[in-house]
Structure 1
Amino acid sequence: MSQSTLTPPAVASPRRIAALALPALVVLTAEPLYVLVDTAVVGHLGRVPLAALAVGGTVLTLTAWLGGVLAYGITGRAARRFGSGDRAAAVAEGVQASWLAFGVGVLVALAMQVGAGPLARTLGGSGEVATAAAQWLRAAALGAPGLMLAAAGNGWLRGVQDIRRPLWFVLGPNLLSALLCPLLVYPAGLGLVGSAVANAVAQTISGSLFAAALVRERVPLRPRPRVIRQQLVLSRDLLVRGVAFQASFLSATAVAARFGAAAVGAHQIAVQLWFFTALVLDALAIAAQTLIGAALGAGDAAGARALARRIALLGAVCGVAFAVLIAAGAGIVPSWFSSDPQVRDQAMVAWPWFVALQPIGGVVFALDGVLIGAGDVRYLRNLTIVAAFGGFLPAIWLTYAFDLGLGGIWAGLTLFVVIRLAALLLRLRTGGWAVVGAVR
């Protein structure tokens, strides 16, 4: 897609925003939809496999978060270069990001072969849950290189506003995996490990497709250590932000596990649904990253600020719609993932908080995308640290100390999101994030 065919970002209409957000929505939801299928398939194996999936899946989510951090950083940088008229430079960012992503993915795959057991015991305690979680982790981690390559590929392709190829590169492999999962778990007799194998297959195929897209660009593919180091330095704020997120969610799973298998199984259902709705709402953030980065790269700060306000409003509307749907499904949805009555009862403890989070989260995720697209990641880093270590984590561990159960854990998550909402709205009003230029 050439620069001349694009709608100017500053005057992007709701239709233009939707044209970027809807394909991103499919890409974003493909992986969590697979995880929901995985949760439903494994949930009917029994309480212990479901709890093991909760523990193992939480650890592997760290890799997905690292991939998301990389994708978001590359989207903003590539979009600014693209907005300034230099598509080749935008693609070059993707080449170096892909080398970085592949290296991280290989390290994760190797580390999990050694560290899966200790990690599973730390989060899930000793016993059969930890043993099963470690087995799942070792198999699932083999897909980490593909997962990371796909994240980098999504980043640079979004930056150059190529909205079609990521759609097929992610959707196809995940549909294949959704078909493989029940076959490997039940007829093939692999049980819990079958779900991990299906996951790794999808991630490997997806990463290979994104790598092939770079080859077809006919740009130099050799690694440039200096550029990779620059990307690491420029991404450090997003990495620190991601670590704060992961510390929070790992702690929440660890505390839920100490309330018993039913509680951690219910937490797995609720938190995976939360991740799913968050990523759906995050489609607006992807559009924001692309359009805000391109607007600022083209030198239009006033247009970027107007676009940010429009995207925040759209986030609120989408969040309210999700809240209505989730509230209506309260008596039905948990039974899709577990036949255990204790697990379903525990899921209902978290449900009111889950509903309340949707409108707040819709605005927060949209504004996250605005600031990431603008390169204002230091502010996001500081905000996330304050919200996590000053709000979420104290609430989580007080929940454990006073035996407040899942209600306390989800109250802490709500506090985490509310703190971020207040600070993001303040930042939006000041306008200090709107700095023009090809690279911030």
Structure 2
Amino acid sequence: MSGHNQPQPAFVVTHRMVLGLALPMTFGFLTIPLLGITDTAVAGRLGDAAALAGLAIGAVLFDLIFTTFNFLRASTTALVAQAWGRGDHDEQEAVFWRALLTAIVLGIAIVVLSPLILKLGLLLMAPEPAAAEATSHWLSVRILSGPAALANYAVLGYLLGRGKAKTGLAIQALINGINILCCILFGLWMKGGIGGIALATVTGETIGMLVGLVIVLRGFATRNPFHRPDLLDRSKLKALFALNSDIMIRTFVLLGAFMVMTRIGNAYGPVVLAANAVLMNFFMVAGFWLDGLANAAETIIGRAIGAGHKPAFDRGVWLTGVWSLVLAGLTSLFFLVFGAPIIDFLTTVPEVRLMAYEHLPLAAATAVCGFLAFHMDGVFIGATWSHAMRNRMLLAFLGYLLALALLVPWLGNQGLWLSLNVFLILRGVLLAAGLPRLRDQIF
């Protein structure tokens, strides 16, 4: 190793370290729904129902594509954190370059394939002709942000792996802030309509990427990736693609679980479907809190493994787990107490409100039932135990399908929500059960 690499001293995991890594990212994630609200509010003021429907369909398609590629962020965080633990600065830089090049290649591929993606998406969603036209217009502009959006995953992953969560938050806030301002400017003030809303996002992502690259590259020994002899190292690339593909399969299964839930809910008619959509917001908000702590676990566990420091690993697992449970408990309690007025705010339809009140306890329980799944995901990604994580996710999904087969015919929509909670519990328990053996293999 070069003189640029020095082993990190053994480090102590503290409550302050956990919250210092988790909270900035949580606030960063919370700006995402704010952005969605702004897009919807601007589209809603265009005086065209088709524009609003087109935006909603386009956003679902875009989120589906880009949630799939979130593995870029997760794998970059884990590999950079492990290199940090070893004190290997060269490898931290190499991991970033590999992630960035992968992001740009995938981003360009998405842009090239966008006509096909749009055609398939519209076939899947089957919207009205006017809404389909609005979706096509929005997505054809929005998709241009593909390379920048994926590059931002690489930037954020690198910053989190280095423990720079506050810088990550600043970039997220910058992207979403520019997006919100440009959305109002392009969409309403300059009368750009739905195309203006899409252009606002492209602007935010591109500026965010440029600022992120300046911040990251400022500390690099070499700013030309092709000066790195190990950049396209076959074994390193193979490990990266194996890790990425496992995380991607896990994400597909997770998306599949939610699609199955929507599909079954659809069979109960529009009132149940609308009530479930309102209540899913509670699970999404809980997810933002728990994702922040999962990110903290990725960084701490990656560093502990890189440094070969078992006490830091054990304490990292324990403290991130305790805080996950505390926040999940507070979130569930908050929704149980204030859920009804939140439902009233989200919908004005009386039947939908009544249906949502009825299922509120099960929706509020998702935070507590899911805390271990989110937490263990963070631990397994940080440790790069992606095969084990993927296999246990598939097992949990089988358990979910079994729960649906047993509970839905018996309990209807209540059975649907119960099955979701069973799925979340199964994911957490199956991962936690495999943890001691995997830890003993590493240390």
The two structures have a TM-score, normalised by structure 1, of 0.84
Which secondary structure does the structure 1 equivalent of 2:164 belong to?
coil
Q: Could you report, residue by residue, the CA deviation over 1:119-178 in whole angstroms, capped at 9, with x for unpaired residues? A: 133135565555544444333322222221111111112112223322221111202222
1:213 maps to: 215
1:295 maps to: 304
Q: Is 1:166 paired with 2:174? A: no
Q: Is 1:378 paired with 2:379? A: no
Contact 1:123/1:254 (8 A) holds in 2 = no
1:13 maps to: 14
Q: Could you report, residue by residue, the CA deviation over 1:49-106 in whole angstroms, capped at 9, with x for unpaired residues? A: 6655544333222333233212111111111111011122112101110110121122
Contact 1:75/1:289 (8 A) holds in 2 = yes
1:339-378 equivalences under 5 Å are: 339=348, 344=353, 347-348=356-357, 351-378=360-387
Q: Could you report, residue by residue, the CA deviation over 1:202-225 in whole angstroms, capped at 9, with x for unpaired residues? A: 222222322333433242323637
The worse-fitting range, judged by mean Cα deviation, of 12-21 and 242-251 is 242-251
1:161 and 1:135 map into 2 onto residues whose CA distance is 39
**Paired letter, 2:383:** A
The worse-fitting range, judged by mean Cα deviation, of 255-264 and 296-305 is 255-264
Contact 1:251/1:396 (8 A) holds in 2 = no
**Paired letter, 2:280:** V
2:144 and 2:271 map into 1 onto residues whose CA distance is 29
1:395 shift after superposition: 3.0
1:44-55 equivalences under 5 Å are: 52-55=54-57
**Paired letter, 2:177:** L
Q: Could you report, residue by residue, the CA deviation over 1:225-256 in whole angstroms, capped at 9, with x for unpaired residues? A: 74544411232211211121222334444555
Contact 1:124/1:257 (8 A) holds in 2 = no
Which secondary structure does the structure 1 equivalent of 2:317 belong to?
helix
**Paired letter, 1:292:** I
CA RMSD of aligned residues (A): 3.5
Q: Is 1:283 paired with 2:292? A: yes
Q: Could you report, residue by residue, the CA deviation over 1:319-376 in whole angstroms, capped at 9, with x for unpaired residues? A: 0111122223323324544555566556546533320101122232122111111111
**Paired letter, 1:433:** R
1:29 shift after superposition: 2.6
**How high is the sequence identity, in percent, across the aligned residues?**
23
Q: Is 1:391 paired with 2:400? A: yes
The worse-fitting range, judged by mean Cα deviation, of 321-330 and 364-373 is 321-330
1:433 to 401, 417, 439: 439
Which secondary structure does the structure 2 equivalent of 1:332 belong to?
helix
**Paired letter, 2:35:** Y
The worse-fitting range, judged by mean Cα deviation, of 345-354 and 254-263 is 254-263
Distance 1:270 1:147, change over 3 A: farther
1:423 maps to: 430
2:93 and 2:100 map into 1 onto residues whose CA distance is 11
**Paired letter, 1:231:** L
Q: Is 1:25 paired with 2:31? A: no
The worse-fitting range, judged by mean Cα deviation, of 308-317 and 190-199 is 190-199
The worse-fitting range, judged by mean Cα deviation, of 256-265 and 155-164 is 256-265
2:338 and 2:437 map into 1 onto residues whose CA distance is 39
Contact 1:77/1:293 (8 A) holds in 2 = yes
2:421 maps to: 414
1:33-432 equivalences under 5 Å are: 33-39=34-40, 42=43, 52-124=54-126, 129-216=131-218, 217-219=220-222, 220-222=224-226, 224=232, 226=234, 227-254=236-263, 267-339=276-348, 344=353, 347-348=356-357, 351-392=360-401, 395=404, 404=412, 407=414, 409-428=416-435, 430-432=436-438
The worse-fitting range, judged by mean Cα deviation, of 251-260 and 13-22 is 251-260
The two structures have a TM-score, normalised by structure 2, of 0.83
Distance 1:149 1:375, change over 3 A: same
Contact 2:24/2:166 (8 A) holds in 1 = yes
Contact 2:35/2:176 (8 A) holds in 1 = yes
Which secondary structure does the structure 2 equivalent of 1:324 belong to?
helix
Which secondary structure does the structure 1 equivalent of 2:339 belong to?
coil
Distance 1:364 1:403, change over 3 A: closer
1:126 and 1:403 map into 2 onto residues whose CA distance is 34
Contact 1:248/1:388 (8 A) holds in 2 = yes
2:42 and 2:401 map into 1 onto residues whose CA distance is 31
1:298 shift after superposition: 1.0
Give the gaps of 5 or more residues in structure 1: none
The worse-fitting range, judged by mean Cα deviation, of 308-317 and 52-61 is 52-61
**Paired letter, 1:279:** F
1:397 shift after superposition: 12
The worse-fitting range, judged by mean Cα deviation, of 116-125 and 73-82 is 116-125
Give the gaps of 5 or more residues in structure 2: none
**Paired letter, 1:287:** A
